[in-house]
Amino acid sequence: MVVTGESGRAVWSGMTVSQKVRIGTRASQLALWQSNWVAEQLRSHGVSTEIIHITTQGDVTAGPLGQIGGQGLFTKEIQRALLDGRVDLAVHSLKDLPTEPIDGLTLGAVPPRAGSGDALITTTASSIEELPHGARVGTGSARRKAQLLHVRPDLVMAEIRGNLDTRLRKLEEGLYDALVLAEAGLTRLGWEHRIAQVLPKALMLPAVGQGALGLEIRTDDHATRRVVALLDDSPTHAAVLAERAMLAALRGGCLAPVGAWGRCNASGGLLLDAVVLSHDGKQRLTASGESPLQEAVQLGRHVAEQLQVQGAAELIAGSRGAPPK
């Protein structure tokens, strides 16, 4: 509960918030929407906030993500600002946050998840099945490419970079016949009317953490930890913990052709489905599991073990151009 103390400062559950919570974020349209949403939620609890823009390597590099140099392209600079005290809280699209732990940092909260699906954007069809033979589909994701090619090997997968508005403009200019983008980003920016189809999970499992926000803090910053706990959603947090544990156990990384979908069932248990594919979509491995919410990490590792037995490591290595073992 938040009340106002005699000094006029916000007091929550016995703690006094005597300074602003400085929120570090990328300056893209979607990143600013997300950080402003977090700021509004905190302010509704009486917490003063300040948003600080940080440019990341991914924002200034034009090449395909898979060729630039691996993970953390959209997070490392923000994490540095967090570690050196320039900001108190980092707001990430959780699908961009690498699973490798960073000394001194922790995931303080995960708010309720938006739609986790992938959306088809096109004016020439109402579904992936109706796209013309040989249609040119814009996506920078190995996961999306592989899953699309698994069901439509005739499609031409074309690399695309840029913020959502840039990608949509390229579609309008006729450079692509269709795009596949995250449902959550389109919805958050009010562009859900552009969606021709939210792809069924049976066809396209999302990226690990897709649709969820990760609120990262310094491990020893107990005051900020208590504040961001106000925004945590336990079912979402458990679901993404399972997904991230699975990806970490596979050593897949954010750019591998790996998909996962964690969610709660009607009885409050946690379900996890996962997929690993070859880069061309010809090979597809699946696994699933169920556990109580408090065993999310164990569930993720169990599902990863199922995939490893089937040969997931070889497919992931092949997607990076490494020779099979």
Among the residue ranges 41-50, 71-80, 202-211, 295-304, the one predicted with the least confidence is 71-80
Q: Say whether pLDDT at 14 is over 90.
A: no
- pLDDT tens sequence across 252-276: 877 789 999 999 998 889 999 999 9
Q: Do residues 95 and 222 both lie within one domain? A: yes
DSSP letter for each residue of 187-225: HHTT-GGG-SEEPPTTT-PPPTTTT-EEEEEETT-HHHH
Residue bearing the bigger pLDDT, 7 or 314: 314
Structure tokens at 11: 């007091």
> Residue 162 has what pLDDT?
84
Q: Do residues 122 and 108 both lie within one domain? A: no
Q: Does the annotation count 103 as an active-site position? A: no
- Can you tell me the distance from the alpha carbon of 238 to that of 219, in angstroms, rounded to the nearest whole number? 19
Q: What distances in angstroms separate CA 24 from CA 18, 62, 158, 282, 304, one per listed residue?
A: 19, 23, 32, 41, 32
Percent of the chain at pLDDT > 70 equals 87
Name the pairing type of β-strands 197-198 and 284-291: unpaired
Q: Do residues 47 and 11 both lie within one domain? A: yes
Per DSSP, the three-state class of 109 is strand
Q: Is 133 exposed, middle or buried (0-12, 13-18, 19+ CB in 10 A)?
A: exposed
Q: Do residues 19 and 104 both lie within one domain? A: yes
Q: Do residues 72 and 148 both lie within one domain? A: no
Instruction: Answer whether residue 204 is part of any domain.
Output: no
Instruction: Answer whether residue 163 is part of any domain.
Output: yes
Q: Say whether pLDDT at 123 is over 70.
A: yes
The CATH number given to whatever domain includes residue 283 is 3.30.160.40
Cα–Cα–Cα angle for 43, 45, 47, rounded to 5 degrees: 50
Q: The domain containing residue 136 runs over which residues?
A: 118-198
Q: Say whether pLDDT at 324 is over 70.
A: no
- pLDDT tens sequence across 40-93: 999 999 999 999 999 866 655 555 545 444 556 678 899 999 999 999 999 999
Instruction: Answer whether residue 97 is part of any domain.
Output: yes
Instruction: Answer whether residue 303 is part of any domain.
Output: yes
Q: Please, which residues bridge with residue 275 across strands?
A: 259, 286
Q: Do residues 128 and 176 both lie within one domain? A: yes
Q: Name which of 309, 321, 243, 224 is nearest 280 in CA terms.
A: 321
- Can you tell me the distance from the alpha carbon of 88 to that of 74, in angstroms, rounded to the nearest whole number? 18
The CATH number given to whatever domain includes residue 126 is 3.40.190.10
Instruction: Answer whether residue 192 is part of any domain.
Output: yes
In the set 59, 88, 96, 103, the catalytic residue is 96
